[in-house]
């Protein structure tokens, strides 16, 4: 079989991943503490971002994103799944209040 041809429908590669392990690894979740420690390891000056990423088994671009998030938001850099950052929460409440007031004025 020619290796350059794509598999027939229902055969072989599923969702663009070569195997189940790659699919499971594609969306790994890391705790805020893990991300913070990874950034600290980069920022202490003893190892490069590439070295830290390689040692942790993560992609270099991911570690750069974590560093940027820490620089931009400090303690609120990694709010967790579904948790809004304080400014986003305030915007959410203001929009809800505006919607409520607008409805009461129209009625």
107/62: higher pLDDT: 62
In which band, very low, low, confident or very high, does the pLDDT at 13 lie, cut at 50, 70 and 90?
Answer: very low
Helix (H, G, I), strand (E, B) or coil at 33: helix
Helix ranges restricted to H, 27-107:
32-43, 49-56, 60-73, 86-106
Residue 7 lies in a domain: no
**CA atoms of 52 and 45, how far apart (whole Å):** 11
In which band, very low, low, confident or very high, does the pLDDT at 10 lie, cut at 50, 70 and 90?
Answer: very low
**CA atoms of 74 and 42, how far apart (whole Å):** 15
pLDDT in the model for residue 70: 86
Residue 100 lies in a domain: yes
In which band, very low, low, confident or very high, does the pLDDT at 22 lie, cut at 50, 70 and 90?
Answer: low
Q: What is the pTM of this model?
A: 0.51
Residue 32 lies in a domain: yes
Structural domain span for residue 68: 28-106
Residues 6 or more apart in contact with residue 76 via CB below 8 angstroms: 85, 86
46-105 confidence digits (pLDDT tens):
899 999 999 999 999 999 999 988 888 777 777 666 555 677 777 878 888 888 888 888
Where residue 43 sits, what CATH number does that domain have? Answer: 1.10.10
Domains of the chain: total? 1
Residue 52 lies in a domain: yes
Residue 10 lies in a domain: no
Residue 18 lies in a domain: no
Residue 86 lies in a domain: yes
In which band, very low, low, confident or very high, does the pLDDT at 9 lie, cut at 50, 70 and 90?
Answer: very low
Residue 92 lies in a domain: yes
């Amino acid at each position: 079989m020619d290796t350059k041809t794509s598999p027939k429908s229902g055969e072989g590669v599923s969702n663009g991943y070569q195997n189940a392990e790659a699919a499971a690894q594609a969306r790994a979740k890391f705790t805020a503490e893990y991300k913070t420690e990874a950034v600290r390891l980069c920022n202490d000056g003893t190892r490069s971002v590439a070295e830290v990423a390689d040692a942790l088994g993560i992609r270099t671009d991911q570690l750069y994103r974590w560093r940027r998030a820490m620089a931009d938001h400090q303690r609120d850099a990694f709010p967790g799944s579904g948790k809004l950052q304080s400014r986003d929460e305030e915007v959410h409440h203001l929009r809800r209040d505006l919607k409520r007031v607008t409805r009461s004025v129209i009625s």
